[in-house]
């Protein structure tokens, strides 16, 4: 094992020592660490999006710490250890890449993807710990962001033939779901409105899939674009000696249109 990796494991073991370790580290468990694990993963993404490579190195270390933390807790309970975690992912990568580590030959990306999905299906079948594991949809983490979970579920179904063959009917479905939202809104039934909004978002994710767009990333980028334009509005309102809440919508719209031009090429 690499020197620094072993050093990290030793440090974590000392932090978790019940008598001489850190009181905060000692009292943690799998569940209590969930918020930190999620936060560190998002901070890695943030460093990548900012193209801050020094910060990326640091944030990857923080994320690795979470892996080591969980492995140490598991080791203390006699469940598994860091070495077994590493062994498991090495075995998985080898199995899922037979064109690299074995004699399999794939002539297209589609064939490689199909083999990848088939191997994942085989792994799920071997687990078969619950009734849900019989479903081709089992194994998708329920705590994923909603758009990402939706995309993964749809990908699973598509791999078994449940998908539109091309893009045009997906556009039709989007318009159909949009009209159903309008009808629900007119009914005044809030529960029904929520249901139809959910259906609209689901089919929008499906459209993104068919257009080879990651819905989660697309929405995040659009949200950031909205924020930049709104901040431009705030700046212009302040420069004009006005109060944001006192402005008419037409005034704000005019600033918004200015922002679209001024910030056109900014990300």
Alpha helices by DSSP H, listed for 188-248, are: 190-210, 215-239
H or E stretch including 170? Answer: helix 168-187
CB-based contact 177:169 (threshold 8 Å): no
Q: How far apart are CA 95 and CA 98, in angstroms?
A: 6
Token pair belonging to 122: 């085989």
Give residue 253's pLDDT band: very low, low, confident or very high (50, 70, 90): very high
Strand, coil or helix: 83 = helix
Q: How far apart are CA 155 and CA 121, in angstroms?
A: 13
Exposed, middle or buried, 140 (CB in 10 Å: 0-12/13-18/19+)? middle
Q: State how far the Cα of 188 lies from the Cα of 161, in Å rounded to an integer.
A: 37
pLDDT at 107: 84
Write the pLDDT tens digit of every residue in 9-39.
999 999 999 999 999 999 999 999 998 998 9
- Residue 132 reports pLDDT greater than 60: no
Structure tokens at 203: 């089919």
User: How many CB atoms are located within 10 Å of the residue 154 CB?
Assistant: 21
pLDDT, residue 198, reads 96
Relative orientation angle of helices 34-49 and 53-76, to the nearest 10 degrees = 160
Model confidence, pTM:
0.65
Per-residue model confidence (pLDDT) at position 242: 85
What confidence score (pLDDT) does residue 228 get? 93
Q: Does 134 have pLDDT greater than 70?
A: no
Q: Would you place residue 72 in the very low, low, confident or very high pLDDT band (cuts 50, 70, 90)?
A: very high
Token pair listed for 176: 């159909």
In the predicted model, is pLDDT for residue 130 greater than 70?
A: no
Q: CA-CA distance, 54 to 215, in Å (whole number)? A: 28
What's the confidence (pLDDT) of residue 44?
Answer: 95
pLDDT of residue 117: 76
| Confidence (pLDDT) at 131 | 46
């Amino acid at each position: 094992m690499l020197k620094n990796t072993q050093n990290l494991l030793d440090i974590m073991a000392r932090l978790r020592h019940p008598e001489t370790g850190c009181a905060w580290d000692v009292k943690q468990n799998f569940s209590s660490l969930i918020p930190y694990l999620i936060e560190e993963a998002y901070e890695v993404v943030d460093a990548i999006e900012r193209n801050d490579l020094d910060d990326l190195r640091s944030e990857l270390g923080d994320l690795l710490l979470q892996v080591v933390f969980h492995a140490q807790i598991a080791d203390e309970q006699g469940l598994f250890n860091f070495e077994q975690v590493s062994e498991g992912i090495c075995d998985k990568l080898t199995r899922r890449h037979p064109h690299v580590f074995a004699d399999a030959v794939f002539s297209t990306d589609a064939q490689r993807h199909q083999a990848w999905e088939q191997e994942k299906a085989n792994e799920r079948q071997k687990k078969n710990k619950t009734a849900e594991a019989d479903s081709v949809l089992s194994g998708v983490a329920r705590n994923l962001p909603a758009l990402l979970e939706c995309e993964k579920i749809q990908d699973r179904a598509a791999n078994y033939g449940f998908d539109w063959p091309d893009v045009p009917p997906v556009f039709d479905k989007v318009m159909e779901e949009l009209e159903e939202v309008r009808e629900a809104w007119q009914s005044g039934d809030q529960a029904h409105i929520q249901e139809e909004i959910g259906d609209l978002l689901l089919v929008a994710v499906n459209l993104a899939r068919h257009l080879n767009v990651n819905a989660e990333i697309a929405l995040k980028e659009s949200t950031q674009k909205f924020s930049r334009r709104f901040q431009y509005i705030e700046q212009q309102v302040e420069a004009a000696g006005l109060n944001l809440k006192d402005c008419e919508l037409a005034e704000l719209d005019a600033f918004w249109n200015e922002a679209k031009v001024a910030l056109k090429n900014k990300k």
